[in-house]
Structures are given as C-alpha cells and as structure tokens.
Amino acid sequence: MTAPLIDNLQYCNWSPEIFRQLRAGGVDAVHVTIAYHESFREMVLNLERWNLWFEAHGDLIFKGVSAADVTRAQETGRTAVFFGFQTPNPIEDDIGLVEIVHQLGVRFMQLTYNNQSLLATGCYEAEDTGLTRMGRQVVAEMNRVGLVIDMSHSAERSTLEAIEVSSRPIAITHANPHWWHPALRNKSDTVLKALTARGGMLGFSLYPHHLQGGSDCTLESFCAMVADAAGRYGAGSLGIGSDLCQDQPDSVVEWMRVGRWSKQMDYGEGSADAPGFPPMPHWFRDNRDWTNIRGGLERVGFSSAEVDGLMGGNWMRFYDEGFGPP
C-alpha cells in the first residue's frame, strides 16, 4: 500500500464536480469543516446534507471516522471525508455534547474561531486570557473521547495552555509559521516548538492570506518554508491543511468572519477593500494540483519517505493515535 494523500482542512462549496476532482487528484482523505457558527441543530442539518452526498456519490466519497478508513479509501479508490468544527459553537454550553458530536463522527474541533469563546481566546482579540474553566474541562473531555483539539484560530496564550493542559497531542490544522509570513493567524516559533515537542501536528495552509506574497506566493517559496520548518520542528510533525475554499461565493466570507455576533463586517484576514476570497496561487487551484506540491517538496531536498509523510502519512499516524480513547 502506498502512502496516503491527506488534506487536513478544506471548506469548499461541495459538489459532485469537486468530489470528482478529489479522485482525479488522488486525495485519499480530507478533513472538511461542517460548522462555523452553527448551533447544534444547525450542524445536524449539515450532517444530513453530507449523508445525502454519501448516498448519491458513494462511488467517490464516504464518511471517515478512523485511520483504518484512510486505508479503506485507498483500497476502494474513494476519498474518506472526516468532519470538523472551526468553532465550538455546536456544543453550545453543554459539555455532554462533546461525546455526542464524536459519536456523530466529528473528529476535530477548534476551541475558538477569531473571537473569544466559552473555552478560550481567538487570535483577533486584544487580550488573551487563556483557557477558561469550561475550556479546561472540555479539553479533558475531548481527550477522553478522541475528539482532536484544533487551535488554528486561537491566540498565543490560549494555544500554549491547550498544548500544556491536553493529555494528548493537539493539532493546528491550517496555519503557517509567523517567521515566514507575519499574518495574525500564523503561529509563532514558541507555539510551534511547544506543539511539536508534545507530538502535535501542524498543517501548512495554502490560503493566500497565510502565504508570503499572498496569491503570488511561489511554489518554491512555500516548499522552502516547509523545509525550514522541518529543520526546526522535524518533518514527522508536519502535513498539509490547505484551507481550500473552492467555489464559495464571496458572501460566505461574511458568514465566516461575522456569523451572528456583529452587525459590522469583520474583515479579519485581508483588507477592507477586498473582503471576498482571494485567488489561490496558480500552482494550487483545486485538488488536481497536488502533484505540484509533491514535486516542489522533492526539489527542496526531502527524501521520498519524508515527502510521503508530509503529503499524508504523518496525518494518518496522527489519526490513528488521536481518534479513539487513549
């Protein structure tokens, strides 16, 4: 069995065409965002939509819940779809829902989006107060059931505390090092050292606001950054979380950034002059372009085994260790 290809974060406007592109690109597994600001009931409606897609397009995709499903995807020529939340909103103020959402198949949950949540502080807040009392208990509950803690949009102190408090390795599914590109969403060297020292995973983002040079970022620059990160943190702790938002209308940016909490547009990542989705770099426009990244990683000197790990093998190991009881 060859090493798998795994993208550990996408938020596409899903369609049969994108499902076919996943297969054309050889993507064995993808972690998809099924909730931003949705309540529990609204999240369940999204699960219903995915169940219809699994029924109608079972020759292309199926629901993944364990690392073994990645192998099953490879064996059957399909893509395993793993669910995750970009906020803790679907568990509302009820810690019992942590186990329920895991039972429903959710495998990743961010403790915050850009704002303060009931659990921790988001990266756009002026003050970072760290994990709340509920946050620490939710971390323990997530550890117990095998729901992976994701701190991609969380602030520095909150992220460091989550790494420290969690009894299991956590993930930053879609971000880049701040030393490469100083986007507010990118992560400091301090955070990345702490994350990887505890067995956690970083998924490199291909979203232009996270890239040096934005949409004009070169493949060479991106892969050189990955090589530098591997030298600092070890290649075995790294993967890809592209943050691909393919075919989403620009109006979806308002839902992502604003939700229901504000009457004003929170421009967040990007400028007030361009609140929509930026163009993807020409070397990664959709799921058929993964060979470009593999080739770029090979050219900067990674071994075949290291490339296999970066392209999905490392995530598969993390799935195996993180998705069930400890």
Query: pLDDT tens digits, residue range 49-71?
Result: 999 999 999 999 999 999 999 99
Please report, as a single letter, which amino acid is at residue 91: I
Residues 326 and 322: their CA atoms lie apart, in Å, by 8
Q: Work out the average pLDDT over 202-217.
A: 97
Flag whether 38 is in a domain: yes
Least confident interval from 180-184, 220-224, 256-260? 256-260
Q: Is residue 249 situated within a structural domain? A: yes
Domains of the chain: total: 1
- Tell me whether residue 131 is in a domain: yes
Cα gap 249→301, rounded to integer Å: 38
Q: Is residue 310 part of a domain?
A: yes
> Do 283 and 219 form a contact (C-beta atoms < 8 A)?
yes
Greater pLDDT, 79 or 1: 79
Q: What is the pLDDT of residue 271?
A: 47
pLDDT reading at 273 higher than 80: no
Q: pTM for this one? A: 0.96
The residue with greater pLDDT, 273 or 321, is 321
Neighbours of 301 (CB within 10 A): 11
Residue 275: its pLDDT value, please? 67
* Residues paired with 122 in a beta bridge: 154
pLDDT at 265: 76
**Residue 48 in domain:** yes
Mean pLDDT of all residues in 280-307 = 98
Task: State pLDDT tens for residues 83-141.
Answer: 999 999 999 999 999 999 999 999 999 999 999 999 999 999 999 999 999 999 999 99
1 occurs within a structural domain: no
Q: What CATH number does residue 92 fall under? A: 3.20.20.140
Domain that holds residue 273: 6-322
Average pLDDT, the chain: 96
